Amino acid sequence: MITSTIHLAETILKNNGIIGFPTETVYGLAGSAFSDKAIHTIFQLKNRPHNNPLIVHIGSVHQLEGIVREIPPKANVLINQFWPGPLTLLLKKSSRISDLVTAGQDTVAIRMPSHPLALELLNSIDFPLVAPSANPYQSISPTMPKHVDSYFGAKIPLILDGGPCSKGIESTIVGFEGDQVIVYRLGAITLEDLESCVGTVLENNKSHEKIKSPGMAKKHYSPKTPLLCSSFIRNDIQKYVSKKIAVVYFDELDDLESNEGIDCYSFQGDLQYASANLYGLLHDLDSRNYDIIIIEKFPDLGLGKTLNDRIERASFKH
């Protein structure tokens, strides 16, 4: 059932059930963060390894008190600036948060989404929600109710319809070590946004020591159709002569449009637009039987860095 009222969703969640949950980033598969049964069901539905922890969603800052042991000063600054919104903080968990949620880690990932329906629901129940993106492990995150429906259909009783996700890309995840802010996943909040708020931050998502976000595994966010992330579209196209190709440009279409067997799409040079629409486009293209999807790399700044991270992980070439 797809509905835009929260009443039935509340009842399902109170009874340890799972729903499709709209946020401004991507849709989540949500259940009570205090229900082992709900947590187990989420891992099972997603076919997600149990060592990959879940994000806890709250509706007000007061809820932090029960679930974390401390809030570093820079976390407070970021909360004031970016919540509600697409920023997830790794904070030391209290005993109220089970090891199932955090995969045994001492920190719990927490965010307050800004989607009005998500906030309304979170504030109508007296427990936080765990919600990983509502896709099977390693596939493209959903940005519309129909994506969630096609992944899980009758396996979940309800999808709360909040329309298309305005950001369209996952939240940015940051943690704290001493006075240092560390970025574990780039997302809808850019490095520039963070640095203008708390000064220099460290990027952990590429080269750094141990992997703290297991979900940052190299292969991720993948369509079934092979995807190639390209800096030289013209050259790469030559390698797939006589194949059915979709080409996705960041900026202008060029005269490839007139080539037979090649369909071209463009984000019109707009990073916000690209972020809001990338996953939706990949879902569409994936259903059209192309032999290959070739995506032009984005300019490597702001949201472009996040989008490059996603298409590189979705690509079959690393």
Q: What is the SS3 assignment for 28?
A: strand
Q: How far apart are CA 54 and CA 214, in angstroms?
A: 11
52 binds, among ligand TXA, Mg ion, none (CB under 5 to 8 A by kind): ligand TXA
Asked whether position 171 contacts ligand TXA by CB under 6 A, the answer is: yes
* CB-nearer residue toward ligand TXA: 170 or 236: 170
What is the rounded CA–CA span in Å between residue 51 and residue 172? 20
Exposed / middle / buried, residue 210 (Cβ in 10 Å: 0-12, 13-18, 19+): exposed
Query: Binding residues for ligand TXA, how many (CB under 6 A)?
Result: 28
- Position 133 contacts Mg ion (CB under 5 A): yes
**Of the candidates 105, 5, 2, 116, the residue with the CA atom closest to the CA atom of residue 56:** 105
CB-nearer residue toward ligand TXA: 217 or 301: 217
The residue behind tokens 């490839």 is 256
- The smaller minimum CB distance to ligand TXA, of residues 12 and 264, is found at 12
Tell me how far apart the alpha carbons of residues 111 and 173 are, in angstroms, rounded to a whole number. Answer: 9
Q: In a 3-state reduction of DSSP, which class is residue 203?
A: strand
In the complex, least distance from residue 223 CB atom to ligand TXA, rounded to whole angstroms: 16
State in angstroms the smallest separation of the CB of 42 from Mg ion.
12
Answer whether 278's CB lies under 8 Å from 141's CB.
no
Which of 6, 12, 33, 216 touches ligand TXA by CB under 6 A? 216
Candidate segments 4-12, 132-140, 159-167, 193-201, binder of Mg ion by CB under 5 A: 132-140
Per CB under 6 A, the list member of 66, 73, 136, 214 interacting with ligand TXA is 214
Backbone angles phi, psi at 53, to 5 degrees: -70, 165
Which amino acid, residue 110? Answer: I
x-marked contacts with ligand TXA along 86-125 as a string, rule CB under 6 A: x-x-x-----------x--x-xxx----------------
Residue nearest to ligand TXA (CB): 215
Q: In angstroms, give the least distance from the CB of 14 to ligand TXA.
A: 20
Would you tell me how many other CB atoms lie within 10 Å of the CB of residue 167? 23
Cis peptide before 84 (omega within 30 of 0): yes
* Cβ-based neighbours of 195, under 8 Å, separated by 6 or more: 201
Residue list 30-89, contact with ligand TXA (CB under 6 A):
52-55, 86, 88
Pick 118 or 237: Cβ nearer Mg ion? 118
For the chain, the C-alpha Rg in angstroms (whole number) is 20
Taking the CB of residue 260, how many other CB atoms lie within 10 A of it?
Answer: 5
Residue (62 or 210) nearer to ligand TXA, CB:
210
Nearest distance in Å: CB 56, ligand TXA: 8
The CB-of-260 to ligand TXA minimum distance in angstroms stands at 39
Question: Binding of ligand TXA at residue 183 (CB under 6 A)?
Answer: no
Binding ligand TXA (rule: CB under 6 A), the pick from 18, 67, 121, 131 is 131
CA atoms within 13 A of residue 275's CA, in its CB half-sphere: 28
DSSP run (H or E) holding 306: helix 303-314
Closer residue to Mg ion (CB): 222 or 266: 222
Which residue ranges make up the site for ligand TXA (CB under 6 A)?
Answer: 23, 25-26, 28, 52-55, 86, 88, 90, 102, 105, 107-109, 131-133, 170-171, 173, 184, 212-216
Site residues, Mg ion (CB under 5 A): 133
